[in-house]
Chains A and B, each alone.
Chain A
Amino acid sequence: MTGKQVHLAAHFPGVNNTTVWSDPAAGSHIEFDSFVHLARTAERAKFDFFFLAEGLRLREQGGQIYDLDVVGRPDTFTVLAALAAVTERIGLTGTINSTFNEPYEVARQFASLDHLSAGRAGWNVVTSWDAFTGENFRRGGFLPESERYTRAKQFLATATELFDSWRGDEIVADADRGVFLADPNAGAFAHTDDHFDISGRFNVPRSPQGRPVILQAGDSDAGREFAAATADAIFSRHGTREAGQAFYADVKGRLAKYGRTPDQLLVLPAATFVLGDTDADAQEKAGEVRRLQVSGQTAIKFAEQLWNTDLSGYDPDGPLPDVDPVVGENTIARGRASVRMFRDPIAVANQWRALAAEKNLSLREVVIEVTGRQNFIGSAATVAEQINTLVQADASDGFILVPHLTPGGLDEFADTVVPLLQERGVFRTEYEGTTLRDHLGLGPLP
Chain B
Amino acid sequence: MSAPLHLAVALDGAGWHPAAWREPDARPTDLFTADYWAHLVREAEAGLVDLVTIEDAIGLQSDDFDAQDDRVDRVRGRLDAVLIAARVAPLTRHVGLVPTATVTHTEPFHVSKAIATLDYVSSGRGGVRVQVSGKAHEAAHFGRRTIPPFRYQDVLALNAGQAPELATLFSDLFDEAADYVEVLRRLWDSWEDDAEIRDAATGRFVDRDKLHYVDFAGRFFRVKGPSITPRPPQGQPPVAALAHATIPYRLAARSADVVFVTPSDVGAARAILAEVRAEQSAAGRGSETLHVFADVVVFLDESPRAAADRAARLDDRAGETFTSDALVFTGTPSGLADLLQEWHAAGISGFRLRPATVPHDLTAITRGLVPELQRRDLFRRGYEAPTLRGLLGLPRPANRYAEATS
Does the CB pair B72–A182 fall under 8 Å?
yes
Q: Does B110 contact A (CB under 8 A)?
A: yes
Does the CB pair A135–B79 fall under 8 Å?
no
Does the CB pair B229–A73 fall under 8 Å?
yes
Q: How far is the CA of A137 from the CA of B184 in the complex (A)?
A: 12
Q: Does A314 contact B (CB under 8 A)?
A: no
Q: Which residues of the other chain, A, contact B110 by a CB distance below 8 angstroms?
A: 75, 100-101
Residue from A65, A196, A204 within 8 A of B77 (CB atoms): A204
Does the CB pair B73–A118 fall under 8 Å?
no
Q: Does B118 contact A (CB under 8 A)?
A: yes
Known: A78-B118, A116-B83, A205-B32. A137 touches B142 (CB 8 A): no
Chain B interface size, under 10 / 10 to 19 / 20 to 34 / 35 or more: 35 or more
Q: Which residues of the other chain, A, contact B230 by a CB distance below 8 angstroms?
A: 30, 72
A/B pair count, beta carbons within 8 Å: 232
Does the CB pair B34–A116 fall under 8 Å?
yes
Does the CB pair A75–B114 fall under 8 Å?
yes
Does the CB pair B77–A74 fall under 8 Å?
no
Known: A58-B226, A72-B230. A113 touches B83 (CB 8 A): yes
Residue from A86, A183, A203 within 8 A of B59 (CB atoms): A203
Q: Which residues of the other chain, A, contact B143 by a CB distance below 8 angstroms?
A: 196-199
> Considering the complex, which residues of chain B in the window 213-252 have a beta carbon less than 8 Å from any beta carbon of chain A?
220-226, 228-230
Q: Does B277 contact A (CB under 8 A)?
A: no
Q: Does B121 contact A (CB under 8 A)?
A: yes
Q: Which residues of the other chain, B, contact A382 by a CB distance below 8 angstroms?
A: none
Closest CB in chain A relative to B68 CB, distance in Å:
6
Does the CB pair A201–B21 fall under 8 Å?
no
Does the CB pair B28–A85 fall under 8 Å?
no
Residues of A within 8 A of B (CB-CB), count: 79
Residue from B84, B228, B317 within 8 A of A72 (CB atoms): B228
Q: How far is the CA of A139 from the CA of B223 in the complex (A)?
A: 10
Does the CB pair B79–A204 fall under 8 Å?
yes
Q: How far is the CA of A67 from the CA of B204 in the complex (A)?
A: 5
Q: Does B322 contact A (CB under 8 A)?
A: no
Q: How far is the CA of A144 from the CA of B401 in the complex (A)?
A: 35
Q: Does B381 contact A (CB under 8 A)?
A: no
Q: Which residues of the other chain, A, contact B22 by a CB distance below 8 angstroms?
A: 175-176, 178
Q: Does B385 contact A (CB under 8 A)?
A: no
Contact with B along A122-159 (1 / 0, CB 8 A): 00000000000001111110000000000000000000
Closest CB in chain B relative to A315 CB, distance in Å:
16
Closest to A199 in B: B140
Closest to B61 in A: A203
> Considering the complex, which residues of chain A in the window 61-110 have a beta carbon less than 8 Å from any beta carbon of chain B?
64-65, 67-75, 77-79, 81-82, 84-86, 100-102, 104-105, 108-109
Tell me the B residues contacting A by CB distance below 8 Å: 19, 21-24, 26, 28-29, 32-34, 38, 57-61, 68, 70-80, 82-84, 86-91, 105-107, 109-110, 113-114, 116-118, 120-121, 123, 137-138, 140-144, 191, 196, 198, 200, 203-208, 211, 220-226, 228-230, 317
Q: A71-B211, A186-B77 are in contact. List 7 more A-B contacts (CB 8 A).
A: A22-B198, A32-B123, A175-B21, A178-B73, A185-B70, A187-B76, A198-B143
For this complex, 19 residue pairs linking A to B, each with C-beta atoms less than 8 Å apart, are A21-B198, A65-B206, A65-B208, A71-B206, A72-B206, A74-B120, A74-B121, A79-B121, A85-B88, A102-B144, A111-B79, A116-B34, A118-B33, A173-B21, A173-B29, A198-B142, A201-B68, A203-B60, A205-B77
